Amino acid sequence: MKFNDSKVLSDRKPHQAINLAKAFFLCHTSSTLIFPSCQYVSIRSKPCYGFSLGITKERSLIGAFSFYTKTKEISDVSCDGCGLKVVAKKRVLLEEGAPFLIIQLNRFFSPEDRIKGCITFPLSLDLAPYYSSSKGMHYELYGFIVHAGEYASSWHYYNVIFESSSWYKLNNEDFDPVDEQEVLKQEAYTLFYRRHTIDMNAMPSYSDTSLGENSEEERLIPLGMIHHP
């Protein structure tokens, strides 16, 4: 079947588009630096709109997240406590999850070299092991992008999306159903997860006019999108 994008809405104001990006994708990580020489600890929060993860020998998304949040030793770091350059231990964890997650797998090394093959990914993702607090964050896969070229310089991509309880492959104007087992065999490059409490069928509402156009509070989820089980 063919895909028709003529009905895609594009009448949002610029500030609405920016605030939607914040509302849907903005999350925070917590970076902890421990300096064993003087016991000084530095904790910093950093905003981000997605994750770029290296591929490990496990060749899985879970393995990539485990490596990303693993405690690592870094040398020649200036300590704010004692002022010396020493070896420190660093760990990055998720501090505040976003309603939607964008996760890029680093498949490319150069224009002529990339990591090929399937990197396993779950349909349901539990981020509890990578979270700085005890509360867990459960996400569901709703789509991903596949790089179909032989080399990194080959610019052909297609999408696989979850819509109306079924999976579909969107390749240029072709829109074809795909079974779940075939979905899990795809060479995903960028994955998109949503928090399981998000209702994708609800229409966003912007009826709350108490917020100014530039208010940081407008990064809240549009009314009607949150589903409370």
C-alpha–C-alpha distance, residues 10 and 227, integer Å:
26
User: What's the confidence (pLDDT) of residue 2?
Assistant: 56
Strand partners, 175: 170
C-alpha–C-alpha distance, residues 159 and 17, integer Å:
22
C-alpha–C-alpha distance, residues 138 and 197, integer Å:
9
Strand partners, 182: none
Q: Which strand (E) or helix (H) includes residue 130?
A: none
| pTM exceeding the 0.85 threshold for the entire prediction | no
What's the mean pLDDT in 190-211? 63
pLDDT at 224 over 50: no
C-alpha–C-alpha distance, residues 90 and 53, integer Å:
17
The share of the chain scoring above pLDDT 70, in percent, equals 73
Domains with residue ranges and CATH for the chain:
20-26+49-70+97-201 (3.90.70.10)
Contact predicate 191/144, CB 8 Å:
yes
DSSP state of 3: -
Q: How many CB atoms lie within 10 A of CB 72?
A: 12
